[in-house]
Structure 1
Amino acid sequence: MKLEQVHNVYFLGIGGIGMSALASYFLFSGKKVGGYDRTPNDRTQALQSEGAQIHFEDDISKIPADFTQPENTLVVYTPALPDSHTELTYYRQNDFHLAKRSEVLGMIANPSYCMAVAGTHGKTTTSCILAHLLNEAQAPYMAFLGGVSEDLGNNFALNGTDYAVVEADEFDRSFLRLTPDIACITAMDADHLDIYGAAEELTAAFEEFIALQKPGGKSIIRYGLPIPGITYGEEAEATYRATNIRLHQGAYQFDIEAPGLHIKGCRFTKPGRHNLMNALAAFALGVESGFDPNILAKALGTFKGVARRFSYQIKTSDFVYIDDYAHHPTEIDAVHQAVSELYPDKRNTVVFQPHLFSRTQDFADDFARSLAQFDHVLLLEIYPARELPIPGVDANWLLNKIENPNKKLVTKAELVHEVRNINPDILLTLGAGDIGNEVTQLKTALSHGN
């Protein structure tokens, strides 16, 4: 089914970060949009306010009549849905055209100059920075992001269709639906081993992603990764280099060097060397796509950030609370590096919610090492997402591996009490599950020392 033939688009899992961006696109395009999700969230509320018809029960009778016509309805579903899902079964049995989110994203983005950002860490922030740079360069672009950009106030932008900024997700091999004009790989650490089985298979998928580029396509690759391309990093051998890096009043000041290019006095306000590398990647993507380097460099200094990516909730002289999506040992290390650089003499406490039984099992020793770096560790139970429990793999099992005497297994209901007892200078909540739902309560309770 061609998108021009589609009048109605129905999303199974419409509240997901990637699905909701597609739903916004179709609403902007004048299509009727509806969908199902398990629970309402900020994204479903925003979509409903824009005209989407959404319900929260897996019930065929709740599907609006507009979305029961096979000849002009496209059904988009997330791979996280179980095969037993009632509405999914209904659509499969009644000759509707069904497509995975990744397939539809490819149909939309591939005809444009497709700028695809992949990587096991950093792709969301890099994509959001890139969208901000194109916005500042007044480019006719659209963006499909895996997080809510604080600059755009959304996970989607549509200012034209000449350029498409796309977060290319390796989960379920989704990124293999894209044919980029320029592609970026930020990191290739082992992850999603429930999908790939082994790190070598994940590497092979990234190689296949690069091979799918259009003729004459370019690759922007983090220096040191085993894939050829235009590299970026702090290393002297990298094509795009951040040099003369220093921290001034909580922001990075640095220079950018590349063949035929030297821009001094660049500024980037998001903490952590990992974020500085994300900024450099986005800059390289923009320059290699033909945009003015000076406009892009200036725009780096005005980037606000991404929701749940080193997101300050409280920032006073005596207490700081930061929330972050970190859910892999490498990401936890990056958060620790940023906090240690910014607040070297402050006592920190991390609250971590492990995400997925399989990931916890695969990287248990690495998680234990990463978490042990913090002064105090509060551990929540594992967030299962799409998975069934694995015998013997739970939060207490992980807790016992953490070599830090200041550690404790807690429930969400105990969080405020436990944090007050510790009374840290720096509090961090980390995880990709529903720990984000606790942020408002913690922020309210700790803002005024209630």
Structure 2
Amino acid sequence: MGVGGAGCSAVFAIAHSLGYQVSGCDKEKWSPYLDNKLAKLVSVGHSPDHLKGVDLLVYSPAIPAYDTQNEELLTAKKKGIEAVPWEQFVAKELLVDKFVIAIAGTHGKSTVTAMAAFILEKAGLDPTCLVGAIVNAWERNYRVGKSKYFVIEADEYSEKFLLFPADIAAVTNIEFDHPEYFADFEKLKAAFGKFVKTLKKGSILITGPKVGLENPNGETIQVSKPANFDLKMVGEFNQMNAAVAAAVAKKLVIREEIIQKALESFSGLVRRFEFKGEEKEVLVFDDYAHHPTAVLATSKAAREKFPNQKIWLVFQPHLFSRTKALFGEFVESFEKSPVDEIIITDIFGAREKDTGEVSSTDLVKTIKGKQVKYLPNIEEAATYITKEAFAGDIVITMGAGDIYKLPEMLLKKLGNKI
């Protein structure tokens, strides 16, 4: 259930590849994450009728969060059909007897997961990988291998990473996020503390420079500085990601020349400073950044790549709780951002309701010293940029909501511009 989600879609595909008899359902038959080859196995909507012949119901945790009275889930429980969130299925079924490499951290975990798996692939170690973003080289958010190695993105949200005891773990960095789950930064740090306690005996923990965790069950290695590879991905933060991925590979005794060649050929992930197209000499990029640190880092990377061009940043805040909890950090991030013009749209609430405590207009009014404008939705943002942008301009969209739809909308409008 919820088979179109970033995590559930990969689990669905991996299970199918391993010989499990699977069927799936979601609100829509299409998802940017869902493998098109498996679309014939997906039903639209949720229904108790889907439970015929089902031994185990695996669901996205978003479903009970959004819909506490979901009929399919409730019926499964009444009929005694075991129902588990996808991460429990992964832990109980897919990770059994595997050499687990778990990548955690507030920022960069998807990229490092993909980089590490890509290095293992190029080294002939044939890993399985589950990552929360589409990897360009694979055109999907998973890879199925035949070896013992399983590289998994270990998300701190709802502490699901505690289900993945690892042989090698990496923690890229720790910053406050997910205020809808963690009451404060101390609670989030405590969750990471619990995560390292789950590591297997004789395991290896690799950390970024300011993580401050020690592996109680094995070795701890700190990566203190960014790498200096000739990466296809821009920004110092990606050099840091590469350094962590390289440290993972070195502990598997992969030769340095293989590591370098793999990382320098790695083409990145979808929605990670992804080039979406060009119309009327306006270049459009899209990025998943939704935390103040990521917004500023990606803005700096854009300026590094385009030092002399006008840069537009269109940001859609994600979650009212995050915008409220990190309001000051967002303001600081935008004020330090080296872009020329900022557009902020309405907050994408996802599972949250608007209580009126925080808004995008509050952000716009508070940001000082920048050219910043509020436009309520992505359609208006696309229309405005179409009118105001000139040849040579750079447009970057950022956010974790539905702002990924804006680039295509904007490119179409620019194409029709006379």
Answer whether TM exceeds 0.5 for this pair.
yes
Q: Is the aligned partner of 1:389 residue 2:389?
A: no
Q: Choose between structure 1 and 2: higher strand proportion.
A: 1
Match of 1:412 in 2: 378
Picking from 112, 131, 152, the partner of 2:98 is: 112
Q: Is the aligned partner of 1:271 residue 2:271?
A: no
Change (3 A) 1:43 1:92: farther
Match of 1:13 in 2: 2
Change (3 A) 1:314 1:43: closer
Distance 2:39 2:412 in 1: 32
Match of 1:427 in 2: 395
Distance 2:78 2:253 in 1: 48
Q: Kindly report which structure 2 residues correspond to 1:120-131, keeping only aligned pairs within 5 A, or say none.
A: 120-131=106-117
The answer as to whether partners of 1:308 and 1:325 remain within 8 angstroms in 2 is yes
- Aligned to 1:115, the other structure's residue is in SS state strand
Distance 2:40 2:28 in 1: 15
The RMSD of aligned alpha carbons is 2.0
Match of 2:83 in 1: 98
Distance 1:231 1:52 in 2: 46
Aligned residue type for 1:53: L
Distance 2:161 2:103 in 1: 9
Q: CA deviation at 1:80?
A: 1.5
Q: CA deviation at 1:226?
A: 1.5
The answer as to whether partners of 1:381 and 1:395 remain within 8 angstroms in 2 is yes
Q: CA deviation at 1:439?
A: 2.3
Picking from 338, 342, 347, the partner of 2:310 is: 347
Q: Kindly report which structure 2 residues correspond to 1:130-141, keeping only aligned pairs within 5 A, or say none.
A: 130-141=116-127
Q: Is the aligned partner of 1:280 residue 2:243?
A: yes
Distance 2:350 2:85 in 1: 19
Picking from 24, 35, 40, the partner of 1:46 is: 35
Distance 2:34 2:79 in 1: 29
Aligned residue type for 1:50: L
Distance 2:266 2:33 in 1: 26
The answer as to whether partners of 1:117 and 1:184 remain within 8 angstroms in 2 is yes
Q: Kindly report which structure 2 residues correspond to 1:210-289, keeping only aligned pairs within 5 A, or say none.
A: 210-228=196-214, 229-234=220-225, 242=227, 254=228, 266-289=229-252
**Structure 2 stretches lacking a partner, 5+ long:** 215-219
- Aligned to 2:133, the other structure's residue is in SS state strand
Q: CA deviation at 1:172?
A: 0.8
Match of 2:52 in 1: 68
Match of 2:289 in 1: 326
Distance 1:443 1:420 in 2: 9
Distance 1:180 1:352 in 2: 36
Q: CA deviation at 1:110?
A: 4.7
Aligned residue type for 2:159: R
Picking from 244, 258, 261, the partner of 1:298 is: 261
- Aligned to 1:307, the other structure's residue is in SS state coil
The answer as to whether partners of 1:79 and 1:172 remain within 8 angstroms in 2 is no
Q: Is the aligned partner of 1:36 residue 2:25?
A: yes
Q: CA deviation at 1:449?
A: 4.9
Change (3 A) 1:327 1:403: same
Q: Is the aligned partner of 1:80 residue 2:43?
A: no
Picking from 421, 431, 439, the partner of 2:407 is: 439
TM-score (normalised: structure 2): 0.91
Deviation readout 1:62-119 (Å, 9 max, x if unpaired)? x2xxx3235xx21112221232212111112211111112111222125211010001
Match of 2:217 in 1: none
The answer as to whether partners of 1:369 and 1:403 remain within 8 angstroms in 2 is no
The answer as to whether partners of 2:280 and 2:415 remain within 8 angstroms in 1 is no
Distance 2:183 2:406 in 1: 33
Q: CA deviation at 1:33?
A: 1.6
The answer as to whether partners of 1:110 and 1:180 remain within 8 angstroms in 2 is no
- Aligned to 2:211, the other structure's residue is in SS state coil
Deviation readout 1:353-399 (Å, 9 max, x if unpaired)? 11111001101121122223232111111111111222232222222
Distance 2:39 2:284 in 1: 36
The answer as to whether partners of 1:110 and 1:179 remain within 8 angstroms in 2 is no
Match of 1:245 in 2: none
Change (3 A) 1:381 1:230: same
The answer as to whether partners of 1:32 and 1:52 remain within 8 angstroms in 2 is no
Deviation readout 1:397-441 (Å, 9 max, x if unpaired)? 222222245222222221222112331611110000111122222
Distance 1:414 1:128 in 2: 35
Aligned residue type for 2:345: L
Match of 1:57 in 2: 45
Q: How many residues align?
A: 404
Change (3 A) 1:109 1:413: same
Deviation readout 1:245-266 (Å, 9 max, x if unpaired)? xxxxxxxxx3xxxxxxxxxxx4
Q: CA deviation at 1:445?
A: 3.0
Change (3 A) 1:447 1:294: farther
Q: CA deviation at 1:447?
A: 5.4
Aligned residue type for 1:217: S
Change (3 A) 1:45 1:168: closer
Distance 1:367 1:377 in 2: 13
Change (3 A) 1:99 1:79: same
- Aligned to 2:23, the other structure's residue is in SS state strand
Q: Is the aligned partner of 1:170 residue 2:156?
A: yes
Which range is displaced more, 206-215 or 365-374? 365-374
Change (3 A) 1:398 1:85: farther
Aligned residue type for 2:75: Y
Distance 1:389 1:37 in 2: 25
Match of 2:363 in 1: 398
